[in-house]
C-alpha cells in the first residue's frame, strides 16, 4: 500500500514548481494525470526533459525528471469538447493543480469557481509567482525574480560582490513546490471535517519569504537588516565556511557549537584557535577585528596540506562537522547516498534501465515508490477517455479535430 493510494490528481501545470509538487504526490502513491496540450496546439512544456535530449521522443520523455509515476492525456482545453472531457475527469478527481498566470484558468474555463461547481469535494491548488491577488499578481517572472523580491537573493554571496543565484531551488522547489504539496495534503485532511474541498493559493514569493523566517524575524522584531557576506550561515566566520584542499577540491566546515569547534582545533593541532568560536552576536553582524582574518587564514593554510578526501577521513573520526564539496558524479557514487536509496533504476522495455533520483520521504509502513517512468506525450489519452465512457468513434472524431492526440 502507498500512502496516497486512491487519491486522483489532475495536473494542469507546466514547468518548475507545479510538476515538482505533483511528482511528490505521485511518488507517495497518488494517481496523477497530466493534462497536456496536443502537439497541434502547443509544444510540450511539462518538466524540463526537452532540454535533456534532442533524440527520439520516447527517450526524451523518459528523462523528463518530474513526470515519473504520472499519466499523460493530451487535451485541447480551448475547445468546448476538450473542456467537457476535463469536466468529466474532474468529477472523479480529489485534487486539481494549476500553474497558469492569474486569469488564464478563468479564460480556459477551468478556474476554481468552475471546478467547485463540477466537484465540490475537489481541492484546487493554484501556483503563481506573486499570488492570485495584490499589485504584482499578473507580473511574469521566474525563480530569480521571486527570490530577489523576497529578500533571499540579497543575502546570498560575498560582501561587496553581486549576489549569487542559487539555482532555482528556493522559490520553485524548496519553497513553492513543497508548499503546494504540504498545502494539498493539509487540505485533504481538512476535507474529512469540512466535507468539501477548498482553494489553495500558493505564491512562490510568499514561499521564499517563509524560508527566510529565521532571518526575517530579526528585522521584524529588532529592526536588524542583515547584509550579504555578514551572516554566520553565509561564510562570514571561519568556523562555518568552505576551504580549498591540496588537490584543488573543496570541503565544508560547520562548527557552530563550541565543542565541535574545539574538536576541529584539536584535530588540526591548533588549540590556540579554540577561543574563536560562535557567539550570539554573530547572528546580527560580522565580527570586527583582525583576529578573524587570522583564524581564517590559519585554517586555509592547514587545509592546503592534505587532499579533500584525506581531511574527510581524518576529521569524521574526530566528530567534526565536515562535508566534501561534490560534483554531481561524486554525489551519486557516495556510499551514504546509495545506502539511502537515492539512486533508483527503473526498467523500460524500449530503453532498458533508466536511473532516477530516489524518494527522500521515507515512510516506514507506506513507503513511496517509482512505479513508472515519465510517459510519452498523450500516452494514456485513449485509455482514460475509454474509462470515462467515450466510444472509439467519439475518440477518433476528437483526434481528427485535434482536440486530443
Question: Above pLDDT 70, what percent of the chain?
Answer: 94
Q: How confident is the model over 275-292, as a mean pLDDT?
A: 83
Cα 96 to the chain's mean position, in Å? 19
DSSP 198: -
Do 13 and 115 lie in one domain? The reply is yes
Residue 95, beta-bridge partner list: 9, 123
Residue holding cell 576551504? 243
Q: How confident is the model over 179-206, as a mean pLDDT?
A: 98
Residue 117 lies in a domain: yes
* CATH number of the domain where residue 94 is located: 3.40.50.10540
Q: How confident is the model over 137-166, as a mean pLDDT?
A: 96
Q: Name the band, by pLDDT with cuts 50, 70 and 90, for residue 53.
A: very low
Do 22 and 141 lie in one domain? The reply is yes
Do 282 and 187 lie in one domain? The reply is no
Element (H, E) at 184: helix 178-194
Residue 261 clears pLDDT 90, i.e. is over it = yes
- Residue 350: what pLDDT? 74
- Residue 63: what pLDDT? 57
Average pLDDT, the chain: 92
Residue 51 clears pLDDT 50, i.e. is over it = no
Q: How confident is the model over 143-160, as a mean pLDDT?
A: 96
Residue 375 lies in a domain: yes
Write out the three cell numbers for 55: 533524440
Residue 116 lies in a domain: yes
Q: Name the band, by pLDDT with cuts 50, 70 and 90, for residue 95.
A: very high
Q: How confident is the model over 244-269, as a mean pLDDT?
A: 97
pTM: 0.93
Higher pLDDT, 150 or 222: 150
Q: How confident is the model over 200-209, as a mean pLDDT?
A: 98
Residue 50 clears pLDDT 90, i.e. is over it = no
Residue holding cell 509544444? 43
Residue 36 clears pLDDT 60, i.e. is over it = yes
* Residue 366 structural domain: 8-211+339-400
How many domains does the chain fold into? 2
Q: How confident is the model over 29-35, as a mean pLDDT?
A: 98
Q: Name the band, by pLDDT with cuts 50, 70 and 90, for residue 286.
A: confident
Write out the three cell numbers for 122: 475537489
Q: Is 110 exposed, middle or buried (0-12, 13-18, 19+ CB in 10 A)?
A: buried
| Chain segment 103-151, per-residue pLDDT in tens | 999 999 999 999 999 899 999 999 999 999 999 999 999 999 999 999 9
Residue 260 clears pLDDT 90, i.e. is over it = yes
CA-CA distance, 397 to 405, in Å (whole number)? 11
Do 136 and 271 lie in one domain? The reply is no
Q: How confident is the model over 297-318, as a mean pLDDT?
A: 98
Q: How confident is the model over 306-314, as a mean pLDDT?
A: 98
> Apex CA 13: angle with CA 354 and CA 24, to 5°?
50
3-class SS of residue 324: strand
Do 84 and 43 lie in one domain? The reply is yes
| Chain segment 332-385, per-residue pLDDT in tens | 999 999 999 999 999 887 778 889 999 999 999 999 999 999 998 999 999 999
Do 35 and 73 lie in one domain? The reply is yes
* Largest pairwise CA distance in the chain: 84
* CATH number of the domain where residue 280 is located: 3.30.1540.10
CA-CA distance, 82 to 87, in Å (whole number)? 9
Amino acid at each position: 500500500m502507498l500512502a496516497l493510494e486512491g487519491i486522483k490528481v489532475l495536473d494542469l501545470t507546466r514547468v518548475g514548481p507545479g510538476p515538482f509538487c505533483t511528482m511528490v504526490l505521485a511518488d507517495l502513491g497518488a494517481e496523477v494525470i497530466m493534462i497536456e496540450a496536443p502537439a497541434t496546439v502547443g509544444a510540450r512544456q511539462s518538466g524540463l526533459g526537452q532540454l535533456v535530449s534532442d533524440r527520439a521522443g520516447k527517450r526524451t520523455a523518459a528523462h523528463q525528471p518530474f513526470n515519473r509515476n504520472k499519466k499523460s492525456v493530451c487535451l485541447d482545453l480551448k475547445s468546448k469538447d476538450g473542456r467537457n472531457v476535463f469536466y468529466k475527469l474532474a468529477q472523479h478527481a480529489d485534487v486539481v493543480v494549476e500553474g497558469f498566470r492569474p486569469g488564464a484558468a478563468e479564460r480556459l474555463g477551468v478556474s476554481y469557481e468552475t471546478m467547485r461547481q463540477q466537484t465540490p469535494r475537489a481541492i484546487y491548488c493554484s501556483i503563481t509567482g506573486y499570488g492570485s491577488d495584490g499589485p504584482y499578481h499578473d507580473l511574469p517572472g521566474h525563480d530569480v525574480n521571486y527570490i530577489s523580491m523576497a529578500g533571499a537573493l540579497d543575502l546570498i554571496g560575498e560582501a561587496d560582490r553581486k549576489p549569487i543565484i542559487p539555482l532555482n531551488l528556493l522559490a520553485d522547489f524548496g519553497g513553492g513546490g513543497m508548499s503546494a504539496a504540504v498545502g494539498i495534503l493539509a487540505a485533504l485532511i481538512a476535507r474529512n471535517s469540512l466535507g468539501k474541498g477548498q482553494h489553495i493559493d500558493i505564491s512562490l514569493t510568499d514561499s521564499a519569504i517563509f524560508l527566510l523566517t529565521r532571518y526575517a524575524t530579526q528585522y521584524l522584531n529588532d529592526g536588524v537588516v542583515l547584509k550579504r557576506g555578514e551572516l554566520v550561515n553565509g561564510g562570514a566566520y571561519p568556523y562555518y565556511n568552505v576551504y580549498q584542499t591540496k588537490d584543488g577540491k573543496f570541503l565544508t566546515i560547520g562548527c557552530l557549537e563550541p565543542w565541535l569547534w574545539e574538536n576541529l582545533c584539536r584535530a588540526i593541532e591548533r588549540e590556540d584557535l579554540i577561543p574563536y568560536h560562535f557567539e550570539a552576536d554573530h547572528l546580527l553582524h560580522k565580527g570586527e577585528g583582525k583576529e578573524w582574518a587570522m583564524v581564517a587564514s590559519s585554517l586555509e593554510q592547514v587545509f592546503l596540506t592534505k587532499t579533500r578526501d584525506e581531511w574527510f577521513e581524518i576529521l569524521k573520526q574526530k566528530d567534526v562537522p565536515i562535508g566534501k564539496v561534490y560534483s554531481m558524479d561524486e554525489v551519486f557514487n557516495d556510499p551514504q547516498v546509495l545506502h539511502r536509496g537515492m539512486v533508483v533504476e527503473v526498467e523500460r522495455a524500449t530503453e532498458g534501465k533508466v536511473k532516477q533520483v530516489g524518494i527522500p520521504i521515507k515512510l516506514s509502513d507506506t513507503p513511496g515508490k517509482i512505479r513508472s517512468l515519465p510517459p510519452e506525450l498523450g500516452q494514456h489519452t485513449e485509455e482514460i477517455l475509454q474509462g470515462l465512457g467515450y466510444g472509439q468513434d467519439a475518440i477518433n472524431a476528437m483526434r481528427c479535430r485535434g482536440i486530443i492526440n
